[in-house]
Amino acid sequence: MRTGFEVFDLTGTILPLFLLVVVGVLLASVSGAFFRWLHNHNQPVLHVDSIVKSRRTAVSQHHDPESHAHHSSTTYYLTFEVESGSRMEFQVQGSEYGQLAEGDEGKLTFQGTRYLGFQRVSRMAEEYERRYDDIYRST
């Protein structure tokens, strides 16, 4: 005898739909990462004068209920201001984050949304070059 609830049969309808949604979400995530990589790969590598404007971190904490272990991870971000006045934020490694401070000036290297590096320019070296050029030109 049919009761009308056969539509909600767990193994016949619900489980396949759930698996289809999970596979769809995974494919969307992987394809999004691939297209972001492809977009960055096709962009030119740019070297621009910039200033480190701000630094921030994002800390996420995880708890494993079985082992009662707590884990945390930190993501580091730097915001740069380029000569045009626009600002760009990049995710960076912790070692890079630790070596740069707000106000540092130098050459930012990036490709699309991918951070490639920052070469700090020493203010003392620039001042020395300027003074040397002034002395050299006056003689």
Give the residue, 115 or 9, on which the prediction is more confident.
115
Say which residues have a Cβ less than 8 Å from residue 5's Cβ, sequence separation at least 6: none
Q: How far apart are CA 75 and CA 93, in angstroms?
A: 8
Residue 17's pLDDT is what?
83
pTM: 0.68
Q: pLDDT digit string (tens) for 7-22? A: 556 667 777 788 889 9
Residue 99's pLDDT is what?
95
Q: How far apart are CA 10 and CA 7, in angstroms?
A: 9
Q: pLDDT digit string (tens) for 29-62? A: 888 888 888 888 899 999 999 999 999 999 999 8
Which residue is associated with the tokens 């056969």?
Answer: 6
Q: pLDDT digit string (tens) for 77-108? A: 999 999 999 999 999 999 999 999 999 999 99
